[in-house]
Amino acid sequence: MTTTQPSFEVPAEMRDFAEKSVEQARNAVATILQNTRKAAESFQSVTKTTELPASVAFSRGFDFTEQNVAAAFELAQKLVRARDAQEAMQLQAEYVRTQFAAMQNQAKELIGTVQPTKA
């Protein structure tokens, strides 16, 4: 006896709504990050701390946050378009692999910005 998994098809209207929702969320988060970055840069400018290692690390941390958020929203867009649960699981696994590698590189870079260089 052969068993087949039931096919689950998302109606086009729901898929369109989900895509629009993801895009609206992406824009809202981008605006929040942009405003937060401006406020932090303004504070650093006023306090004249922009060249300190911690400030450089803070700025790079913002860059990394933006990259990671963009990757998460890219995954969300792909998941909305996934044809089935198997494809969705593959997309999620790929995302976890690439983000784990990215975060390792980001951590190394941040550590490098705050550690004093040896002369």
pLDDT tens per residue, range 75-85:
999 999 998 88
Boundaries of every domain in the chain: 53-113
- C-alpha 54/C-alpha 75 separation (Å) is 31
pLDDT tens per residue, range 17-72:
989 999 999 999 999 999 998 998 888 787 777 677 777 888 888 899 999 999 99
Give the mean model confidence (pLDDT) for residues 3-28. 82
pTM, rounded to two decimals: 0.76
